Amino acid sequence: RVRPLNSNEVSRTDNFSLEFPGEGQVTIETNGATRNFQFTGVFEPDATQEELFENCGITRLVDMALNGYACTALAFGQTGSGKTHTMTGPPHQFIDGNLTDQSMIGLIQRSFKYLYQQVKNSPENTVIRASYLEIYNEQVIDLLNPSHKRYLSVRWSKNKGFYVENLFSIECAAMDDLKAVLEEGMRNRTNGSHGLNENSSRSHSMLTVTIDSEAQDQDDENLYITKRGKLTFVDLAGNEKVRDTNSTGGTLSEANCINKSLLILGNCISHLGDSKRRQGHIPYRDSKLTKLLADSLGGNGVTLMIACVTPSSHNAGETLNTLRYASRAKKIKTKPVIKMDPREKLILSLKREVKVLRNENHYLRQQLEFPAKPKGQLQKENDEKFMTFMKEQERKDILYITESGLYEMLQEYMVENEALRTENSDHHSTKDRIRREQQGLYRENEKLMKRVEELERYIQVFFFALFGI
Ligand code: ADP
Ligand code: MG
């Protein structure tokens, strides 16, 4: 997304360094060289917040999250390029609480609205929860619980993957609850409980909405399928700091690392975007941010990355950097799968099996011209119709067998079988006899061989005594 030139850039009479040839292309001119990039979509400076929401694909991500997938929307770019504007709209709305121009609200609030609309129109039981955190200088801070002074730990478990321990998470029954989470977190982020002015441009914020839904099986009212989808909105720190770290060749020591997380994120993206290196080790564990984004980036989720840039020639170097980063990220391919815990998975597979068996049962009943069983009901002993039907069938079968001479036919088979069995047993005893005979012959052969060897030795001794050779 390319923001318009700001007043500062205009008064400095900066040139416009970008061109938009169409169909997702962006051309940038830096130091006399022109480079072309291809993206899924490009939002030019005059694109409104509404247009971005409608066309960036976020509604598809919300729908997927409702269906149990882990989806992430991520804003990336240098400080002042429009990440926060894109995600939430003007920050002052969260401080003074008034936003006169409602058309300025960002992707997050619009997604919330869409999410609750979809929930309202869906027959499923849905429980929405939210958490909001910030990663500053490799420390995780709970934005919903700022009075809690301790930094939170990132842990790993087999079922959950990476997660933040003791992170506050709140149930949001209505859209206003979710908006309150965003507002509270944004206020705490801007105020910065640790009192650092530059905090927001140097920190990453991550708002996670988990969506648990329980759906009734279409064919069976007694069957329920539960899924846990996730929708995460990430406003990343300004990436110009990363290049600063690189250019000074600084090591990644905690002291001089401006933003370790972002640097590692770049490494992970490079690995994941490279078809050869993708199979190898991806350094997710090297930073808190990449641990928490592991699933979004290379795992089972779907991620929308919005690269924010200024068109100003003054920042063309940074813009080129961002575009390169984004085009590398575009090469990443994930395999989205619905998230369920292993127990859930087993239950679901059993439910599917039951469904298949029910279909089979239904088919067989049709074949027998027996009335269909009501949906979701098990066969009961007191199903009178069924029992009389079975008795009737049994009687019919006996009649049928005797009437049609099947009984005689069966007897013939039995006699034939018996004959075959006797023949087989004869064969077996013949085989045994032959084997015994064979073994006798072997033994006799061995004896003869020994006799031959003995004779040879006698002849040798005889010749030696006679001729001395
Ligand atoms: P970042 O979060 O990337 O540091 P911001 O979102 O805070 O950047 O944007 C910096 C300034 O530019 C803000 O004053 C913001 O209102 C303005 N701005 C950013 N993008 C746009 C846009 N698309 N249209 C109008 N103003 C924008
Ligand atoms: Mg910002």
393/42: higher pLDDT: 42
Specify the residue with its C-alpha closest to ligand 1, atom 10: 80
For strand 302-308 and strand 224-235, is the pairing parallel, antiparallel, or unpaired? unpaired
| Ligand 1-lining residues (CB < 6 angstroms) | 3-4, 6, 77, 79-85, 90, 201, 238, 308
Mean pLDDT of 271-291: 87
Task: Provide the pairing of β-strand 70-77 with 125-136.
Answer: unpaired
Cα 91 to middle of ligand 2, angstroms: 9
The atom number, within ligand 1, closest to the CA of 90 reads 16
Q: Degrees (nearest 5) of the Cα angle 342, 344, 345? A: 60
CA of 81 to the centre of ligand 1 (A): 6
Rounded average pLDDT over 408-435: 65
Residue to mutate (ligand 1; options 8, 78, 85, 203; most atoms within 8 A of CB): 85
Closest residue CA from atom 22 of ligand 1: 3
Residue 361: the pLDDT is 60
CB 20 within 8 A of CB 35: no
The overall average pLDDT reported for the chain is: 81
Phi, psi of 134, deg, nearest 5: -135, 140
Instruction: Note whether 143 and 185 are within 8 A (CB).
Output: yes
Q: How many residues does the chain have?
A: 469
Q: How far apart are CA 140 and CA 203, in angstroms?
A: 10
Res. 251 pLDDT band, cuts 50 70 90: very low
Residue 318: pLDDT above 70? yes
Query: Which residues contact residue 299 at a Cβ distance below 8 angstroms, ignoring those fewer than 6 apart?
Result: 70, 161, 334
DSSP β-bridge partners for residue 305: 74
Q: Whose C-alpha lies nearest to ligand 1, atom 23?
A: 3
Determine which residue's CA is closest to atom 11 belonging to ligand 1. 80
Query: How far, in Å, from the CA of 179 to the mean position of ligand 2?
Result: 18
| CA terminus-to-terminus distance, the chain | 106
Would you say 78 is a known binding-site residue? yes
Q: What's the pLDDT band for 192 if we cut at 50, 70, 90?
A: low
Ligand 1 atom showing the smallest separation from residue 78 Cα: 3
Burial 244-268 (b: 16+ CB within 10 A, else e): ebeeeeeeeeeeebbbbbbbbbbeb
246: CA distance to ligand 1 center in Å? 26
Confirm or deny that 81 is annotated as ligand binding: yes
Q: Is 82 annotated as a binding residue?
A: yes
301 is in an annotated binding site: no
User: Do the annotations mark residue 303 as ligand-binding?
Assistant: no
Q: What share of the chain is helix, strand, coil (3-state, %, to 5)?
A: 50, 20, 30
Q: Whose CA is nearest to atom 19 of ligand 1?
A: 82
The single-letter code of the amino acid at 27 is T
Match 């930094």 to its residue by tokens: 151
Q: Which residues surround ligand 2, an ion (CB under 5 A)?
A: 83-84
CA–CA separation, 174 and 182 (whole Å): 13
Tokens of 185: 């977190």
pLDDT value at residue 393? 67
Cβ(146)–Cβ(133) below 8 Å: no
**Higher pLDDT pick, 384 / 318:** 318
Q: Among all ligands shown, which has an atom nearest to the Cα of 7?
A: 1
CATH number of 7-340: 3.40.850.10
Q: Which atom of ligand 1 is nearest to 201's Cα?
A: 4
State the distance from the centre of ligand 1 to the C-alpha of 310, rounded, in angstroms.
Answer: 9
DSSP character string of 89-110: S-THHHHT---S-GGG--HHHH
What tokens appear for 384 in the block?
A: 């009178």
273 is in an annotated binding site: no
CA distances from 161 to 11, 190, 306 (A): 50, 30, 25
Q: Report in angstroms the alpha-carbon separations of 330 from 38, 63, 107, 150, 272.
A: 9, 21, 20, 37, 10
Question: Alpha-carbon distance 245 to 240, whole Å?
Answer: 9
The CA distance from 222 to 241, in Å, is 56
Mean pLDDT (whole number) for 105-132: 95
Side chain identity, residue 42: V
Q: Which residue from 3, 87, 197, 235 has its CB within 8 A of the most atoms of ligand 1, so it is best to mutate?
A: 3
Q: Which pLDDT tens digit goes with each residue over 63-117? A: 999 988 989 999 999 999 999 999 999 877 777 777 778 899 999 999 999 999 9
How far apart are the CA of 84 and the centre of ligand 2, in A?
4
**Band (59; pLDDT cuts 50, 70, 90):** very high
- For ligand 2, the distance from its centroid to the CA atom of residue 141, given in whole angstroms, is 17
Q: How confident is the model at residue 442 (pLDDT cuts 50, 70, 90)?
A: confident
Residue 392 binned pLDDT confidence (cut-offs 50, 70, 90): confident
Q: Which residue's CA lies nearest to atom 5 of ligand 1?
A: 82
Q: Please tell me the distance between residue 80's alpha carbon and the centre of ligand 1 in angstroms.
A: 6
Going by alpha carbons, the residue nearest to atom 9 of ligand 1 is: 82
Mean pLDDT within 422-432:
68
Ligand nearest to the CA of 200: 2
For helices 175-191 and 107-121, give the axis angle rounded to 10 degrees. Answer: 160
Separation of CA 200 and ligand 2 centre (Å): 6
Note the pTM of the prediction, 2 decimals: 0.73
